[in-house]
Amino acid sequence: MDEPLNRDMKDLSPLALLAAFAFLAVPALVSQWQRLGLTRDMLWAALRGTAQLMAIGYVLTAVFAAESWWLLTLLLVLMIAVASRSAARRGAPFSGAFWMAFLAIAAAEAVALALWGAFQLVAWKGQYVLPMSGMVIGNAMTVAGLSFERMWREFEQTKPLILAKLALGATPRQACQEVIEQTVKAAMIPNIDTLRTIGLVHLPGMMTGAILAGAPPLVAVKYQLVILLTLLSGAAIAAMVISFLTYRCFFVQRLF
């Protein structure tokens, strides 16, 4: 984007940032009134989120200034590792869930980086790669977690059918074909629904941010389309990798 930043977009003072917490006042008061017990959780989440965002803001400032490819790569690996740890919590029944999640998320990110570079869609600079990679990694993390949960649920529900197929001579892969299919489809639903309703129901975050920064709407739309297609691709890759790896655990770990 060659357009200058929007001059109307000013830096927020600490006092103005603190005033943003006023958005929590109404739900906090209702929670206290109705004894819902949400006030502490909301306040803690807001404080933690603020601390994390401020910290990453300083980290990104340093990374952008350094313009170091190895530092950028290290940060991407760290992001994938943290995302894998989070996704693996939903794959507790499966041995090696962390490494399965790591492989799935890393594969989604690797394909994204390869295509961005091959078609010169995104320059290899921190200010472009990190924000867009963060969206890819975060989306793949969510899909991986959903795939773990759905695979286990589908297996539990169709266990008698799988055993019957095995008794009739089907291979483990053939017996679990329907489970794999349902898992991948279910994990893809959020991304597919987003593409179906984009521009009609909501304006996505990257497009909105680019417009606020002063980019022409059509330029923002083009970048948003790139990231949405990348997210859809990454979701499919993550769901397939998790499904193809986890179904084997039912037989290797004897989870019947």
Cα separation, 124 vs 117, whole angstroms? 8
For residues 148 and 94, the answer to whether their CB atoms sit within 8 Å is: yes
**Burial class of residue 26, CB neighbours in 10 A (0-12, 13-18, 19+):** exposed
- pLDDT confidence of 151, banded at 50, 70, 90? very high
Nearest to 230 by CA among 130, 101, 109: 109
Reduced to 3 states (helix: H, G, I; strand: E, B; else coil), residue 27 is helix
- Give 202's strand partners: 198
Residue-wise pLDDT tens digits, 25-53: 899 899 889 888 888 899 999 999 999 99
User: What was the pLDDT predicted at 127?
Assistant: 86
Question: If you count DSSP H runs as helices and E runs as strands, how many of each does the chain have, helices first?
Answer: 10, 0
**Burial class of residue 190, CB neighbours in 10 A (0-12, 13-18, 19+):** middle
Question: What does pTM read for this prediction?
Answer: 0.84
Cα separation, 171 vs 135, whole angstroms? 37
- In the predicted model, is pLDDT for residue 8 greater than 70? no
Q: At what angle do helices 25-34 and 39-66 cross, to 10 degrees?
A: 150
Name which of 206-210, 221-225, 230-234 the model is least confident about: 206-210
- In the predicted model, is pLDDT for residue 7 greater than 70? no
Question: DSSP secondary-structure letter at 4?
Answer: P
Average pLDDT estimate for 121-146: 93
Residue-wise pLDDT tens digits, 160-206: 999 999 999 999 899 999 999 999 999 999 999 988 888 777 778 78
For residues 63 and 130, the answer to whether their CB atoms sit within 8 Å is: yes
* Average model confidence (pLDDT) across the chain: 89
Cα separation, 203 vs 225, whole angstroms? 12
User: What was the pLDDT predicted at 9?
Assistant: 63
User: What is the Cα gyration radius of the chain?
Assistant: 22
- pLDDT confidence of 85, banded at 50, 70, 90? very high
User: What was the pLDDT predicted at 3?
Assistant: 44
